[in-house]
Amino acid sequence: MSRVLENAVVRLLKRRPFYGQFLLGCRREEGRGEHPLGVTIRDGAPILSINADRFGGFEPHMQEGLLEHGIKHLLHLHMSRRRERNRHDWDIACDLAINPSVADLPPDVPVPAAYGLEDGLAAEEYYALLSSPFDTGNLDGNGTGDAARDAGGHASLGEGEQRNSSAGAIDDHSLWDEADSTPLRLAEEVVRGMVREAWHKSDGQVPGDVRELVEGFLTPSSIPWRQVLRQFVATAGRIGRRTTWMREHRRFGQSTPGIRKRHRLNLLVGVDVSDSTNVAELREAFGRELVRIARGRETQITVLYANSRIQRIDSFKGGVAESYHGGGFTDLRPVFDYARSMQPRPAAVIYLTDGIGPAPEAMEFPTLWVLTQEGESPAPWGVELRLDV
């Protein structure tokens, strides 16, 4: 992490600890575009992209404002909710929804007043007012002219309206294209886990303007755990896609690379052998769902039974319901050490555990923590689900 970003996060941890802790759950990478920062959810992982030179060009208080702007995009899942909407209008609508609540942004960011609109609406409401019902072109541009619209429930933004046409997104919304790699329900669980972790580590000190939103994430998930598990594995399968010039694309000829799929999806499943997971009903439900997933595609699943070290290694042959107890304390790190040694490396790691034990500080593999109902969040990375069996 660059020094300028590190200092900004430290300031947030002191002034607004929830925001600072939330940012610590993001995977950081270097940005090279014209924007100081950008956020997205890529392949089930929250991403914070920082162009250190451009970010460092802002005053410290504006750096904190920029980070808060990105945090609120993630909290509202704006990148995951764009989908089939007109990108230009949706991007503006999302900024209009959050910018009035961020005190320290540069003066030229989009705000509702510049579009003749009131504060306090949701992104979908602003989008309905900005987008034309006749927008049928591609989704990349605005798709609208400057003529006044009829009384069809849309705002008329013709010559007589105040409109700040020079105001653009302060952050890099092009990264939002990558959010299509993560299903909306899975993205929601990613953010839910980040919110829980930030809430606990900040002792519940949540800024008032996002408190209601945060409380919604803190309530038990209404998403069935089986659906989250299936979507996580499907996302891991997409990570295994890669382009190749060795095979002609069927639709576009030789000038366009084709897609070569890896024929087998490799997954590594860790099973904590402590008492909390040594429950037949729990392991059977987990194993049955893995069976269903494996049947849908050619999948190689390696199962590790571990406590403070790996006790047994199995190939997946229909379930992980065995009652195996190794005793001793739990250390979550050996499973990930094994993952790094595998050839080919696994597309993802799925770990059934109560979460109590040391975990790596960071991890390059997409990870799904399958936690027991009373389990604890083991790390500020990875996606969490809780078994309700």
**Distances in Å between the alpha carbon of 250 and those of 180, 238, 244, 308, 317?**
23, 20, 13, 50, 36
Is pLDDT above 60 for 115?
yes
pLDDT at position 376 is 86
CATH number 3.40.30 given to 225-386: no
pLDDT at position 297 is 67
Cβ(196)–Cβ(378) below 8 Å? no
Range(s) within the chain of domains with CATH label 3.40.50: 225-386
- The pLDDT tens digits for 6-15 are 999 999 999 9
Is pLDDT above 60 for 152?
no
- Spell 183-215 as b/e; 16+ CB within 10 A means b: bebbbbbbbbbbbbbbbebbeeebbeebeeebe
Average pLDDT in the 338-357 region? 92
Average pLDDT in the 261-290 region? 79
Average pLDDT in the 37-52 region? 93
Beta bridge partners of 257: 248
With cut-offs at 50, 70 and 90, classify the pLDDT of residue 243.
very low
φ, ψ of residue 259 to 5 degrees: the values are -120, 125
On the question of a cis peptide bond just before residue 46, with omega within 30 degrees of 0, the verdict is: no
pTM of the model: 0.69
- The pLDDT tens digits for 187-223 are 998 999 899 889 999 999 999 999 999 998 888 776 6
The DSSP letter of residue 29 is E
pLDDT at position 239 is 56
Taking the CB of residue 15, how many other CB atoms lie within 10 A of it? 12
Average pLDDT in the 254-280 region? 70
φ, ψ of residue 50 to 5 degrees: the values are -125, 125
pLDDT at position 389 is 64
Containing H/E element for 206?
A: none
pLDDT at position 329 is 77
Q: Quote the distance between the C-alpha of residue 346 and its chain's center.
A: 20
Cβ(272)–Cβ(353) below 8 Å? yes
- The pLDDT tens digits for 277-291 are 777 788 888 888 887
